Amino acid sequence: MNRTVKAVLSALPAMVVLVVLPRVLIGYVPSSAISKASSLLGVSIPGMVDDVAVFGFALAILSALQTWAYKWSIVKPATSTLHIVTSYILLLFLLGFGNALTFGTANLSISPSALGPSTSGIGSISVSLVSTFLALLVGVAVVMKVGQKWMKYGEDKRFHAE
């Protein structure tokens, strides 16, 4: 198969999963339910879908580039590294419910007023889901993966030169 065709095909999974699918799924949910969930959790759900789509485009381009590049070209490990790091930032973004800087902690501020009048007198409820363990160990795996990609590149380059 032509490597350009391969490159285009390799970009498809990221486009489908991160760009098309979230938009299709959100299309099935009534807009009133989305705005209620957004105000309840203090997170803009349509904004998150847009941000995930940006990650989807970036990952699709990087997938296409790394498939298109020759194994012995510096483009291959460079795009692979960027792809791995972008995927990791996407994981942190999802774990942080739209904030990658919290390193795996989702901080939600639930507004009781959105639940109904019976909750009057109760202040904002802060909820944190801490997944630092996942963020930390996946970070270790990312470092190992990047190292492995460059080791592979070194061997491919040597193999090509022989």
User: Where does this chain bind other proteins (CB under 8 A)?
Assistant: 71, 112, 120-134, 136-138, 140-141, 144-145, 147-148, 151-152, 155-156, 159
Residue 54 or 134 having the CB closest to other proteins? 134
User: How far apart are CB 108 and other proteins at their closest, in Å?
Assistant: 9
Do 152 and 77 touch, CB atoms closer than 8 A? yes
User: How far apart are CB 60 and other proteins at their closest, in Å?
Assistant: 22
Residue 24 or 159 having the CB closest to other proteins? 159
Residue 116 or 121 having the CB closest to other proteins? 121
Q: Cα dist. 23→18, 45, 58 in Å?
A: 9, 11, 17
**Three-class SS of residue 121?**
coil
Pair of tokens at residue 14: 């990221």
User: How far apart are CB 151 and other proteins at their closest, in Å?
Assistant: 5
